[in-house]
Amino acid sequence: MPMTSSAQEHRVLVVDDDDDIREVACLSLTLVGGMETVTASDGREALQVAGREPVDAILLDMMMPVMDGPTTIRQLKTDPATAPIPVILLTAKLQPMHQDELKGLDVAGTIAKPFDPMTLSQQISNLLGWAQ
């Protein structure tokens, strides 16, 4: 059964251009973690959703068309309404150039792809200090 603690009250914006990754992440967070989810398929759409709907965290893919993860984070952090939302980057194995790019970004943590859908919600809760 899903967790019934305070994690259930959390709403996470899942941003990934891959439909299957987005779906499995949402399934994991809702069915395993007892969270709520909203989705976006690129950074630009994520900015719109985050500005329109209350979310407690953003799970953001690093490499996406239209607007990539780092650019999206910078935009989120310039808007007072979205700046406080913690962002977790979802990324494939980091190349050195990407590690340098991440250094200046205000992120709550990173989760590596491939991820285990059965433990994804726990990883997010651990990074954000949410009880599960």
Partner 1 sequence: MKDEDDDAYDSVVAAAMMRIRCDAWMTNRHRSDELTSLASRWRSQGILPGAERRRAREVAHALKGSAGTFGHPEVGTAAARLEELLGDDIAPDCDAAASDVWSLIERINEQLSCPPSEEFPE
Name the site residues for partner 1 (rule: CB under 8 A).
1-2, 17-21, 23-24, 27, 31-32, 61, 63, 65, 92-93, 113-118
- Find out whether 34 and 7 touch, Cβ atoms under 8 Å: yes
- Hey, is 20 helix, strand or coil? helix
* Residue whose CB is less far from partner 1, 28 or 82: 28
* Residue whose CB is less far from partner 1, 27 or 105: 27
Least gap, CB of 96 to partner 1 (angstroms): 12
Least gap, CB of 81 to partner 1 (angstroms): 30
129 to 9, 62, 125: CA distances (angstroms) = 14, 22, 6
* Residue whose CB is less far from partner 1, 8 or 85: 8
Least gap, CB of 54 to partner 1 (angstroms): 26
- Find out whether 60 and 21 touch, Cβ atoms under 8 Å: no
- Find out whether 54 and 65 touch, Cβ atoms under 8 Å: no
Least gap, CB of 82 to partner 1 (angstroms): 25
- Comparing CA positions, the residue from 86, 131, 93, 84 lying closest to residue 112 is 93
* Residue whose CB is less far from partner 1, 35 or 82: 35
- Find out whether 90 and 62 touch, Cβ atoms under 8 Å: yes
